[in-house]
Chain A
Amino acid sequence: MIYFFYTAICLGLVIAQTAILSRLPVPGGFYDLLIPFIVYLGLLRPLRESLPFVIFLGLIVDSLSGSPFGLYLTVYFWLYVAVKGVTRLVQAPDRLLIAAMVVAAGVLAENLIFMGALVMAGPDRQIGAHTFGDIAIQGLWAFFTGPLFILFYKNAQKWMGNVFRAFYARREQG
């Protein structure tokens, strides 16, 4: 059930990102919508349940992108590890402010890793002063909208769990 839920969320996010958001004129571009989901998995879900999915997600997005294979996997994996580290340091990781900061930091880290990978491959004129402005805008978007996504995932998962429990309870009674 839980993997069905994760797969449905990810499919929805990937479609939104590749088929819908990419056609909308968002100044500076919208941030990677999968980042709040990775943060959600890292902050609020157990390792054994979420880590395989983080790896699966990285491989899927890597396959859909023209980036060097493994770049998204790298970003998602290390972001997940970092978020798990945050949960050890912070008393109440589900607080919205912490979630907002972690999502924004995740978006900035993703862009920096991408820039690093591009620079490693050779000089790149794509990276200029405007790039840092775009990344800052993405960070702000992430800070304000990221916690809303996390709240949505948390409540959707709770709701889905209740629906399935009620369904099985009714079946057992019947």
Chain B
Amino acid sequence: MVIIVGVIVLIAVNIIVLSLNARRYSTLGLGRFAVSFTAPFQELATRTMRFSREVWRDYFYLVGVARENHGLRGRLDQAAEKNNQWRETELANARLRDLLNFQKTIIEQVVAAEVISRDPSAWFKTVIIDKGRADGVAKGLPVVMPRGIAGQVIEVSSHYSKVMLIIDRNSAVDALVQRTRARGIVKGESASWCRLQYVLRKNDVHIGDTIVSSGLDGVYPKGLRIGRVSELVDHDAEIFHEITVVPFVDFEKLEEVLVVVDRRKHDIASRR
């Protein structure tokens, strides 16, 4: 009888503690220890895997490389011409920015980091990167890619950090539909897509629209690309659109990321 009561009490305590922890991410300080303890080994395993893959690519695919090289030379000539056009456009853009006293959206200092491991569970989407407090990384900093937003730092040890990806169900990014400036929140779904919530039905949204960060959440720089609208459902009884967004970043192939370390500048930029 005592054992049964003990088990019931233990289950009840367990459920209460879990539901409290589910509201706010916290590892009670153990995260730093665990990451510091395991990350060097994870880094070694990841680098060994990458090295093996590169050896395979470099030495066993040489036959295809010769053919590819020929094609690439042709494309390089085209790219050089395009590059020249872009440089002209960039110079014109810089002049116009100065003229209109525009504040550049990305003025932050970034730190490049490598992804060394992923979440042990397929239900949650976090990664560990090989940069930490010693490199200027702090909890809450945004993590971006040239293609778009990747996530946010949620745990930092001296040389490693844990990053929650925007596809994690606990992630939320204040966002805009680039074309119409309709505002919403991009929520992760712990799948390969996200959901854009709280966009009023009166706002015009189409499939294929690009979603960008608004900068209003105080975490992510303004104007960074998040993803593209892939599905749009409107229910008569609902006041919001039901929008599915496919992120531009391919999280399955995430290997390197950029951590925006100078958020102070970004905050000023967002407020302007």
Q: Is the beta-carbon distance between A74 and B18 smaller than 8 angstroms?
A: yes
B124 contacts A by Cβ under 8 Å: yes
Q: Find out whether the CB atom of A64 lies under 8 angstroms from the CB atom of B34.
A: yes
A11 touches B38 (CB 8 A): yes
Residues of A within 8 A of B189 (CB): 124-126
Give the residue name and chain of the B residue nearest to A62 (CB). Answer: B27
Q: Provide the main secondary structure of the chain B interface.
A: mixed
**B128 at the A interface (CB under 8 A):** yes
| Docked-complex contact B30 and A62, CB < 8 angstroms | yes
Distance A117 CA – B164 CA, assembled complex (angstroms): 18
A67 within 8 A of B: yes
B237 at the A interface (CB under 8 A): no
Whether B46 sits at the interface, judged by CB under 8 Å, is yes
State the CA gap A63–B36 with chains docked (Å). Answer: 11
Q: Are A23 and B124 in contact (CB under 8 A)?
A: no
Contact with B along A23-34 (1 / 0, CB 8 A): 100000100100
Please tell me if the beta carbons of A22 and B117 are within 8 angstroms of each other in the complex.
yes
| A169 contacts the other chain (CB 8 A) | no
Chain A residue nearest in CB terms to B38: A14
Instruction: Give complex CA distance A60, B14 in Å.
Output: 17
Residues of B within 8 A of A114 (CB): 121, 123
| A29 / chain B contacts, CB cutoff of 8 Å | 122
Q: In the complex, which residues of chain B have a beta carbon less than 8 angstroms from the beta carbon of A145?
A: none
Q: Which bracket fits the contact residues of B?
A: 35 or more
CB-CB contacts below 8 Å: B29-54 with A: 30-31, 33-35, 37-38, 41-42, 45-46, 49
Least CB distance, B82 to chain A, in whole angstroms: 34
**CB distance B195 to A125 under 8 Å?**
yes
Q: Is the CB of A120 within 8 A of B123?
A: no
| A89 in the interface (beta carbon within 8 A) | no
Of A67, A69, A121, the contact of B121 (CB 8 Å cutoff): A67
Number of interface residues of A (CB under 8 A): 36
Of A19, A62, A63, A121, the residue contacting B117 (CB under 8 A) is: A19
Chain A: residues with CB nearer than 8 A to chain B?
A: 11, 14-20, 22-23, 29, 32, 59-72, 74, 78, 114, 117-118, 120-121, 124-126
Specify which chain B residues have a CB less than 8 angstroms from the CB of A18 in the assembled complex: 38, 42, 117-120, 128
B41 touches A66 (CB 8 A): no
A126–B46 CB distance below 8 A: no
A60 touches B18 (CB 8 A): no
* A61–B30 CA distance with the chains assembled, in angstroms: 10
Asked whether, in the complex, the Cβ of B19 is within 8 Å of the Cβ of A66, the reply is no
Residues of chain A contacted by B170 (CB below 8 angstroms)? 66
A15 to B17, CA, bound (A): 28
List A contacts of B164 (CB < 8 A): 66
The answer to whether B19 touches A63, judged by C-beta atoms less than 8 angstroms apart, is no
A17→B42 CA distance, assembly (Å)? 10
| Cα separation A124 to B22 with both chains bound (whole Å) | 14
Chain B residues near A20: list those with CB within 8 A: 45, 49
Closest to A34 in B: B120
- Confirm or deny: B126 has a beta carbon within 8 angstroms of a beta carbon on chain A: yes
Given contacts A19-B116, A125-B191, is CB(A117)–CB(B18) below 8 Å? yes
- A66 contacts B31, C-beta separation under 8 Å: no
Measured between alpha carbons, how far is A120 from B169 in the docked complex, in Å?
Answer: 13
